[in-house]
């Protein structure tokens, strides 16, 4: 058994830890992670106002009260949702441009200003928002106004500027990469306007970005022009791979692969949740917005922490409660008592590194199976309309049950589903943790006997 386990960990090291560890160090990946983290307050705040607007759907008894109160000011308070979820790609663009420029400055040792990087990224992104068409030998801004579409001078409207929403996140990232790369290249090659030392630093930085800004504008014009001549634009191009990946993650098999990779990385010491979810954040946010408009997609919003990794990666909440109160071994008992409060808030690093779960063959199987099982139950419960899908973002440390209730817009069945998922995960953990506890207990007892 030991030889088999060693081979398994060696395989994971060679084929997952190495490639994914290198991937996590890519500058673009680190900037995407930073952008995802920075947008969390906006997604949560915007979602809370959305929950208020949909509460009567979950609790019909509130319909009368809402009709004479909140419903009368819905357009007012939903501005908070429009200014957060409705322009989320803009936040991604600014933070990504800032962080990516800062990384370039630190690691390339060049004098690029992160604020300039954020602003030129936004400029490049905004140049891609209007929809144009090449017609009668000339570029023309699209104008369509009917019940299916509202495009005015190229700007599609729908509760705000449609392309500034979650569907624009990948386009924002791509244009930010292009803008920052051109900016960094210009500075490295001294294609900038140098000002005398007596000029204030702020003014000097502005002139340093002048030539790069002009080159970025020309580059984006050329890219957009070529795509328009081919009858498309960057949004439509990005939608092809984005749609493929989205459809893949919206299948049960696709999610099994996602959670396998996430937990395989953890087993070899890499924070799998951070790496994997950073790539999937645009997808779950886009799916969440689609659900708010009537879709039924399980993998949306905070599906992961609401129903799958309850207690932290590996779905360890039930297991932590068990070892805190029923473990025979002093080691697991003490660890459980120290970890039980953080576990209710989906924090389990003490367990992962203290038990440990990382590189531990005795806990590897339930660490894989528990979250994959809880994911399966939640996926099919939502897929078959037994529970409302996630429509709102909640803070990932929100305790079990409450997170599902809030994320689904107030569906009590989602809270029950979350508890069921936690219990199923514990059932899978039980025989393995029981065996491991007994093993440690025997070792502790033999050590005591030898000491006596």
Q: Between 209 and 415, whose confidence is greater? A: 415
* Separation between Cα atoms, residue 234 and residue 129, nearest integer Å: 9
Report, as an integer, the average pLDDT of 132-149. Answer: 90
Would you call 328 exposed, middle or buried from its count of C-beta atoms within 10 A (0-12, 13-18, 19+)? middle
Candidate from 58-72, 89-103, 201-215, 325-339 with smallest mean pLDDT: 201-215
Tokens 């689609």 appear where? 290
- The set of long-range contacts for 190-199, using a CB threshold of 8 Å and a minimum separation of 24, is 191/215
Sign, Cα dihedral of 123, 128, 129, 132: positive
* Separation between Cα atoms, residue 425 and residue 442, nearest integer Å: 26
Instruction: Tell me the CB-side half-sphere exposure of residue 101, using CA atoms within 13 A.
Output: 28
Report, as an integer, the average pLDDT of 280-303. Answer: 93
Report, as an integer, the average pLDDT of 320-325. Answer: 96
Residue 126 has pLDDT above 70, yes or no: yes
Residue 71 has pLDDT above 50, yes or no: yes
Residue 369 has pLDDT above 90, yes or no: yes
- What is the average pLDDT score of the chain? 89
pTM of the model: 0.84
pLDDT score of 277: 80
Degrees (nearest 5) of the Cα angle 354, 357, 359?
Answer: 110
Written as six digits, the tokens of 113 are: 């200003």
State the pLDDT confidence band at 276, using cuts at 50, 70 and 90.
confident
pLDDT score of 200: 75
Instruction: Tell me the CB-side half-sphere exposure of residue 320, using CA atoms within 13 A.
Output: 30
* Separation between Cα atoms, residue 175 and residue 163, nearest integer Å: 14
Q: Between 13 and 216, whose confidence is greater? A: 216
pLDDT score of 447: 72
Closest by CA to 312, choosing from 284, 363, 350, is 350
pLDDT score of 264: 85
User: For the chain, first and last CA: distance in Å?
Assistant: 32
State the pLDDT confidence band at 355, using cuts at 50, 70 and 90.
confident
Q: What are phi and psi of 410, to 5 degrees?
A: 100, 25
Tens digit of pLDDT for each residue in 236-254?
998 888 788 888 889 999 9
Residue 438 has pLDDT above 90, yes or no: yes
Cis peptide leading into residue 356 (ω within 30°): yes
The pLDDT > 70 percentage for the chain reads 92
Tokens 């030991």 appear where? 2
State the pLDDT confidence band at 45, using cuts at 50, 70 and 90.
very high
Tens digit of pLDDT for each residue in 398-407?
999 999 999 9
Are 387 and 417 a contacting pair, CB within 8 Å?
yes
């Amino acid at each position: 058994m030991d030889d088999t386990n060693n081979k398994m960990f060696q395989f994971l090291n060679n084929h997952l830890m190495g490639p994914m560890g290198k991937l996590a160090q890519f500058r673009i990946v680190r900037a995407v992670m930073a952008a995802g983290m920075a947008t969390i307050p906006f997604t949560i705040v915007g979602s809370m106002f959305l929950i208020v607007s949909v509460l009567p759907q979950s609790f019909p008894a509130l319909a009368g009260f809402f009709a004479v109160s909140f419903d009368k000011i819905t357009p007012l308070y939903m501005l908070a949702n429009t200014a957060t979820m409705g322009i989320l790609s803009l936040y991604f663009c600014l933070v990504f441009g800032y962080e990516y420029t800062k990384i370039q400055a630190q690691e390339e040792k060049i004098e690029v200003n992160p604020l300039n990087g954020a602003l030129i990224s936004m400029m490049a992104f905004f140049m891609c928002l209007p929809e144009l068409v090449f017609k009668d030998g000339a570029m023309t801004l699209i104008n369509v106004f009917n019940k299916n579409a509202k495009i005015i001078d190229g700007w599609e409207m729908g509760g705000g500027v449609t392309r500034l929403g979650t569907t624009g996140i990948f386009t924002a990232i791509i244009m930010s990469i292009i803008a920052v790369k051109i900016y960094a290249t210009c500075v490295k090659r001294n294609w900038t306007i140098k000002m005398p030392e007596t000029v204030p630093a702020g003014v000097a930085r502005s002139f340093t970005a002048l030539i790069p800004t002009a080159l970025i504008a020309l580059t984006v014009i050329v890219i957009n022009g070529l795509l328009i001549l081919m009858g498309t634009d960057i949004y439509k191009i990005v939608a092809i791979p984005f749609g493929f990946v989205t459809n893949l993650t919206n299948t049960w098999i696709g999610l099994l692969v996602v959670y396998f990779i996430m937990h395989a990385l953890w087993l070899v010491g890499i924070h799998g949740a951070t790496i994997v979810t950073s790539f999937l954040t645009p997808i779950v946010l886009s799916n969440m917005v689609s659900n708010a408009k009537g879709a039924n997609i399980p993998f949306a919003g905070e599906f992961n922490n609401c129903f799958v990794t309850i207690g932290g990666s590996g779905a360890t909440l039930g297991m932590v409660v068990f070892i805190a109160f029923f473990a025979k071994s002093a080691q697991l008992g003490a660890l459980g008592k120290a970890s039980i409060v953080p576990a209710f808030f989906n924090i389990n690093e003490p367990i992962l590194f203290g038990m440990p779960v990382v590189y531990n063959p005795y806990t590897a199987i339930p660490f894989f199976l528990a979250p994959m099982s809880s994911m399966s139950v939640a996926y099919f419960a939502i897929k078959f309309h037994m529970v409302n899908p996630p429509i709102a973002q909640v803070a990932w440390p929100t305790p079990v049950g409450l997170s599902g209730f809030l994320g689904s817009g107030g569906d009590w069945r989602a809270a029950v589903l979350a508890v069921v998922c936690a219990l199923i995960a514990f059932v899978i953990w039980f025989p393995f943790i029981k065996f491991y506890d007994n093993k440690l207990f025997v070792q502790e007892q033999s050590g005591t006997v030898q000491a006596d």
